Amino acid sequence: MKEPKAWEQYRHFKGGKYQIICLAQKEDTGETLVIYQALYGDCRIFARTLDNFTEKLDRNQYPKAQQTYRFERIGEEAAAPPQSVADAAAPPTQSAADAAAAAPTQSVASAAKTVVSENVESDLDPLMEQFLDAELVRDRIEILQQLRPHLTDQMIDTMAMAAGVEIGEGSLDERYDDLQQCLRTIDRYEMERERLR
């Protein structure tokens, strides 16, 4: 199994979907840790040793498991958001993360903005443009709250793509709450990481 990389998405053998944030080194032991975020619920962030993340499943312990490994990478087709602005704006297998990977100096947010603005005929909402340009997650949360009165499912899909998260199906209110919670989790994680520097 290849070493996971940032932005890649994986499925746990019990079914949950996750996105890699980064690899880190444990200070006291030097072990490599995989830092990854749930793409469901409250978008919690987890850390697991690389050896544990990439290990094969014990068939005696999990005889009914469908996967060979604890985590298996999700193909680009499976990872693409369903029926969203991203589908209309990009080739079927291209996501904002793929676009960012193709142009390393371009962030996921700017890749999403480029994909959306170049391929969607209608003008981009000025607040949406501010969201995509925002450098701080805290600013994105404030802009999301300002957008609330005229938010659409397509806007949520675009903002989720720019933030590197996946928001599941549900009512508009549920999806708005999920996106806001994911952004708050990312903001909290970034604040903790800054404190550790």
88 versus 192: the higher-pLDDT residue is 192
- Does residue 3 lie within any of the structural domains? no
Q: What's the confidence (pLDDT) of residue 117?
A: 42
Q: Which residues pair with 37 in a beta bridge?
A: 19, 45
The reply to whether 68 falls in a domain is yes
45-49 sheet: strands from edge to edge = 45-49, 32-38, 17-25, 9-12, 71-73
**Per residue in 100-134, pLDDT tens?**
444 443 444 444 444 444 434 345 678 888 888 88
Per the domain annotation, does 154 fall within a domain? yes
Could you tell me the residue range of the domain that residue 16 belongs to? 9-73
My answer on whether 182 and 91 are in the same domain is yes
Provide the pLDDT for residue 42. 80
Determine the residue type at 22: C
Q: How many domains does the chain have?
A: 2
In a domain, 51, yes or no: yes
Q: Which of 17, 22, 21 is nearest to 38 (CA)?
A: 17
pLDDT digits (tens, 9 = 90+) for 128-151: 888 888 888 899 999 999 999 888
Q: What is the CATH number of the domain that holds 31?
A: 2.30.30.320
Long-range Cβ contact pairs of 33-41 (< 8 A, separation 24 or more): 34/4, 36/4, 36/10, 37/165, 37/185, 37/186, 39/9, 39/165, 39/166, 40/16, 40/166, 40/168, 41/178
**Which of 78, 102, 112 is CA-nearest to residue 92?**
78
**Whether 95 and 158 share a structural domain:** yes
Statement to judge: residues 68 and 126 lie in one domain: no
Question: Residue 80 is which amino acid?
Answer: A
Task: Give me the mean pLDDT over the 165-179 stretch.
Answer: 89
| One domain for residues 63 and 110 | no
Task: For residue range 19-69, list pLDDT tens digits in order.
Answer: 999 999 988 899 999 999 998 888 889 999 999 999 999 999 988 889 999
Nearest one of 30, 75, 69 to 53, comparing CA atoms: 69
The reply to whether 93 and 41 lie within a common domain is: no
